[in-house]
Structure 1
Amino acid sequence: MSNAFRDLLRKVGSGNHTKEDLTRTEAAAATRMMLLREATPAQIGAFLIAHRIKRPTGAELAGMLDVYDELGPKLQPIGSSTPVMVLGIPYDGRDRTAPISPLTALLLTAAGQAMIMHGSDRMPTKYGVPLVEIWQGLGVDWTELSLDQTQQVFENTGLGFVYLPQHFPLAQKIFEYRDQIGKRPPFATMELMWCPYAGAAQIVAGYVHPPTEHMFQVALSLRGTNNFTTVKGLEGSCDLPRERTNIIGLSTPDITDESGLVAIDRLHLSSRDYGFSSHNVPCDPTEHLVADMRSVLQGKPSEMMQSAIWNGGFYLWRAGICADISAGITQAEAMFASGEVAQQLTRIIQAIESIQVRDRSYSQL
């Protein structure tokens, strides 16, 4: 048993009147001890549920991110003229609305904007469809790639996926505790801001509850991250809904607010203002979702196509590729219709196959 960890556990788990927030340094120490298994299973489980009940602070989340930055994997910088866009999406997947982000990633990388995604398999507490299953259905299997192989795909195509079971097993083991306690611990909030990239990046973090955005703002400001976007998206993802007004936060790197934090410009977007209907695509079985995505890649009109264009238009603008959202929507529609996005998927599949064939050949020498 770790006595040092017990002291930190006592602070967060002492009840409504005597509980204390951890400092950034203390949160980092607790995270490190959990990831390295210096704390016992009983201590880890108790900390995760106590910390959820207490609710995390931005400083605590910054400390957690410090340790992920220290112990976690990183894709190395590539020759990108713009910051790489890193999508922070809940690891426990989707079960009500269709994920759009794979189509967004294909569109943006086809347009020259490098992107990184990260995640795992079906996991607690939702056990919704994870991104890796969608990618596998599209013919892209990130789960078998080493970090070095993923780096090569990233360099060749502009798209990378950090897969926790393969690339960050220390963090993957924590999910066993999530299943047992039956609730998302603050780790689930921290992961939305995690940046497994060693170069200049723009963090895009999805969320559900408004207080989470302020925690993002505090944590990222403390860590010196001033290029980020917050999205009150579908099921806490970065996917823009169509049935309600989108609430989006755009960081202003050179401006701080009255608290000294990186300031956020508020943007409210309604899909209706851009000619879209108020309809989100439901989360069908994975094979149906993949079939719908393939239809989009073939340029066929559908509700998923409308969501893909809506999301693509926004992110093309946010990446600086298009002058405004209307221009982004026009470009997204044209790229799906012309087959450019489908060609990008083919390039990624071919890049993975080429790397795997080459590495198998080397191993046989």
Structure 2
Amino acid sequence: MSQAFRELLKKVGSGSHTSEDLTRAESAAATRMMLLQEATPAQIGAFMIAHRIKRPTGAELAGMLDAYEELGPRLQSIESAYPVTVMCLPYDGRSRTAPTSPLTALVLAAAGVSVVQHGGDRMPTKEGVPLIDLWQGLGVHWERLTLEQVHLVLETAQLGFVYLPHHFPLAQGLVSYREEIGKRPPFSTLELMWSPYAGEAQLICGFVHPPTEKMFQDAFAMRGTDRFTTVKGLEGSCDLPCDRTAIIGCKNPHSEFERLHLVPRDYGFAAKELPLIPTPDLIQDMTAALQGKSSELMQATLWNSGFYLWRCGVCSDLETGFSTAKELLSRGSVAQKLKQVIEMVETMSAIASR
């Protein structure tokens, strides 16, 4: 048993009237001890559920990010025309609505914006469809690459994926606790704000509940993160909704946090959200969208890609973003980008297996 961890556990686990918030340094220490398994399984499980009940603070999340930065993987900085975009989505995936994030990432990459995503396999407690399954369906096997190889793909083809089981085994070692405690721990919030990229980045952080967005702002302010976007997206993802107003927050260096309310019908994108369908069928629809074929998924992809092309600085306004996304898809640039990534990953994974 870790006596030091026991003292931190006592602070967060003393009940609604007597529990105390951890300092940033204490939170970093607790996260470090959990990642390194210096705390016992009983202590780790107790901390996760107690911390969930108490709710994390911005300072605590800043400390958790400090520990992830110290012990986790970091893709080295690359030269890029635009800040690298890190898309942070819930690791436990989607269970109700069809995702467009891989398609959005490909459109951005085709426009010259380098994109990093991260995540793992199907994860408790939601067990939704994770990003890695969608990339595999599209023919990209990120799980076969070393971190150094992912960096090379990012540098050359503007796309990268940090795969938790392979690239961050310390964090993967805590996944089983989610099933055992039956609830999402605060690590699920941390994953929405973690950047495994060492250079200048634009963080895209999906969320569901408004208090979570305030935690983002507080933690980022403490850590000096001044370029990020918050999206009240589908199932907490970065995917903008088509059936309601998109609530978005934008923070740029040397400017205040700004709120955007984008109404899909104002831009011709109002529609019902696409329900999640079996993954093989979804991959077929994604492939058709990559070929520029008109569909509801294509419209959702244009809505999302156009916004992010504007937000990342490629286009001067939203309308230009939408038309640019449509052009990239219709002329085959996005499909060609996917082909480039597939070929690079296959070549590198073949080298790694020798």
For the criterion TM > 0.5, the same-fold answer is: yes
Q: Where in structure 2 are there 5+ consecutive unaligned residues?
A: none
Which of 338, 341, 357 aligns to 2:334? It is 341
Answering whether residue 300 of structure 2 is matched by residue 312 of structure 1, we say no
Q: Identity rate of aligned residues, in percent? A: 63
What corresponds to 2:271 in structure 1? 278
Answering whether residue 353 of structure 2 is matched by residue 353 of structure 1, we say no
Equivalences, count:
354
| Contact in 2 for aligned 1:156/1:351 (Cα 8 Å) | no
| Contact in 1 for aligned 2:48/2:185 (Cα 8 Å) | yes
What's the secondary structure of 1:95's corresponding residue? coil
Deviation at 1:128, TM superposition (A): 0.3
Answering whether residue 24 of structure 2 is matched by residue 7 of structure 1, we say no
Which of 325, 330, 346 aligns to 2:323? It is 330
Deviation at 1:337, TM superposition (A): 1.0
Deviation at 1:278, TM superposition (A): 2.3
| Contact in 2 for aligned 1:110/1:341 (Cα 8 Å) | yes
Alpha-carbon displacement from aligned partner over 1:185-215 (angstroms, at most 9, x marks no partner): 1110011110001110011100000010000
Deviation at 1:159, TM superposition (A): 0.4
What corresponds to 2:121 in structure 1? 121
What's the secondary structure of 1:221's corresponding residue? helix
What corresponds to 1:231 in structure 2? 231
**Partner Cα distance (2:303, 2:314) in 1:** 15
What corresponds to 2:258 in structure 1? 265
Amino acid at match of 1:234: L
Deviation at 1:359, TM superposition (A): 4.3
Alpha-carbon displacement from aligned partner over 1:269-295 (angstroms, at most 9, x marks no partner): 011000113221111111111011001
**Partner Cα distance (1:279, 1:178) in 2:** 32
What corresponds to 1:259 in structure 2? none
Amino acid at match of 1:316: L
**Partner Cα distance (1:81, 1:295) in 2:** 29
**Partner Cα distance (1:109, 1:189) in 2:** 26
Answering whether residue 293 of structure 2 is matched by residue 300 of structure 1, we say yes
**Partner Cα distance (1:359, 1:147) in 2:** 12
**Partner Cα distance (1:46, 1:319) in 2:** 41
Alpha-carbon displacement from aligned partner over 1:113-168 (angstroms, at most 9, x marks no partner): 00100000001110000000000000001111111111111111010000000000
TM-score (norm 1): 0.96
Answering whether residue 29 of structure 2 is matched by residue 36 of structure 1, we say no
Amino acid at match of 1:90: P
Deviation at 1:253, TM superposition (A): 1.9
**Partner Cα distance (2:4, 2:348) in 1:** 45
Deviation at 1:173, TM superposition (A): 1.0
| Contact in 1 for aligned 2:90/2:188 (Cα 8 Å) | yes
